[in-house]
Amino acid sequence: MITFENITKKYNRKTVIDDFSLNIEAGQLVVFIGPSGCGKTTLLKMINRLIHPSSGKIFVDGKDISKIDPIELRRNIGYVIQNTGLFPHMSIKENLELIPKLKGEDPEAIEKKTVELLELVGLNPEEYMHRFPKELSGGQQQRVGVARAFSTNSDIILMDEPFSALDPVTRSSLQEELFNMQKELNKTIIFVTHDMDEAYKIADKICLLKDGNILQYDTPENILKNPASEFVESFIGKRRVWNNPEVLKAADIMISNPVKVTPKRNVLQAIEIMKENKVDSLMVTDRQSTLLGLVTLKNIKLQERTSLIDDVMEQNVFAVSEDDNLIEVLKIMNEHKIGYLPVVNSGNKLTGLITRSSILSALSSQLLDLEVAF
């Protein structure tokens, strides 16, 4: 349906799209997602010839679009831009009917469709049809922008961050409406977003971009299950963590250099080591870091100062492996009412320690990552 073939785009000498090839099947909703400046808008605008590739070709329905009249091409491709692009001096009705009228569609059918589309995007036609864009809220204008993209009867709709200015509730309801409309009307939609949750909700396929290259192009499920690279993994991991806490592994939430003591030390020495390191627990390991047990200040401070750690340590210590996820970790800590959870590798060697505060700090740094990711 839409094929990018070896597309390259250079501005001056800087390459922003590098030998990009992609095939988008008819009737699919494909989401372009990636960091700011990676080339999403550039790729979208190439489809309706608002931007020309430096080299390579784009085919729509097998036709090389460089050979189609751009005005004609654009009439058949719906386009929603972030600030909606509604004409301010035209009513909502006039905005919606502009292109169908230009295309010479039947006037009665056009009017009927206007009403249907407004209903579809959740705006009462009677109430809003005759208003001007400035008499609508930003979110309502975006709804009209979406309706207008569907008004053209075109098979292809390009949407560049169409919901970015909406509050989460409105956004969620428009995502739902878009999903249903697309399934009902069977359009081919390319949708740009920064929001991985949005992508998961609506996409048939996600195209993950970075620096003008494709990192992965697959269904949401496959991207979640088999991320193609560490970048993809960290990208979806960080974005998904609040909805999918299981993506956060013990290795992400542990302290990596827990303070250790060997079993041959005595209680006095262990307490000194705790003081020195400002901790209230020590992992007991042999010289090869094999986990043997654990001592806490609370439990050893009443012991003889000369007792060996070997004799006073807790030996039945729960431990998790680096791959265990946050849910499993929290479950073990809650069920057994423990505040310390050692992390071991397959050879039972200590690699880290999870405490309530290490979980908290991992979660808050995830929040920070969320904010700085773009």
Ligand X SMILES: Nc1ncnc2c1ncn2[C@@H]1O[C@H](COP(=O)(O)OP(=O)(O)OP(=O)(O)O)[C@@H](O)[C@H]1O
> In 3D, which of 199, 239, 187, 200 has the Cα closest to residue 367?
239
Asked if 70 touches ligand X (CB under 6 A), the answer is no
3-class DSSP state of 1? coil
Select the binding partner of residue 87 from Mg ion, ligand X, none (C-beta < 5 to 8 A, by kind): none
Which one of 20, 31, 33, 42 is in contact with ligand X (CB under 6 A)?
A: 42
Is residue 55 within 8 A of residue 229, CB to CB? The reply is no
CB of 40 to Mg ion, least distance (A): 5
Report how many residues bind Mg ion under the rule CB under 5 A.
Answer: 1
Which CB sits closer to ligand X, 41 or 114? 41
Tokens for 114? 């206007």
Which CB sits closer to ligand X, 50 or 308? 50
Which one of 2, 17, 31, 41 is in contact with Mg ion (CB under 5 A)?
A: 41
Report how many residues bind ligand X under the rule CB under 6 A.
Answer: 9
3-class DSSP state of 193? strand
Select the binding partner of residue 39 from Mg ion, ligand X, none (C-beta < 5 to 8 A, by kind): ligand X
Q: Which stretch in 30-38, 178-186, 227-235, 278-286 sits in contact with ligand X by CB under 6 A? A: 30-38
Q: Which stretch in 33-41, 273-281, 342-350, 355-363 sits in contact with ligand X by CB under 6 A? A: 33-41
Instruction: Give first-to-last CA distance, the chain, whole Å.
Output: 31
Which one of 30, 41, 65, 163 is in contact with ligand X (CB under 6 A)?
A: 41
Select the binding partner of residue 16 from ligand X, Mg ion, none (C-beta < 5 to 8 A, by kind): ligand X
Tokens for 132? 């001007």
CB of 226 to ligand X, least distance (A): 24
Asked if 38 touches ligand X (CB under 6 A), the answer is yes
3-class DSSP state of 211? coil
- Transcribe 73-132 into DSSP letters: HHHTEEEE-TT----TTS-HHHHHHHHHHHTT--HHHHHHHHHHHHHHTT--HHHHTTS-
- Measured between alpha carbons, how far is 148 from 168 in angstroms, rounded to an integer? 22
**Rule CB under 6 A: which residues touch ligand X?**
11, 16, 36-42
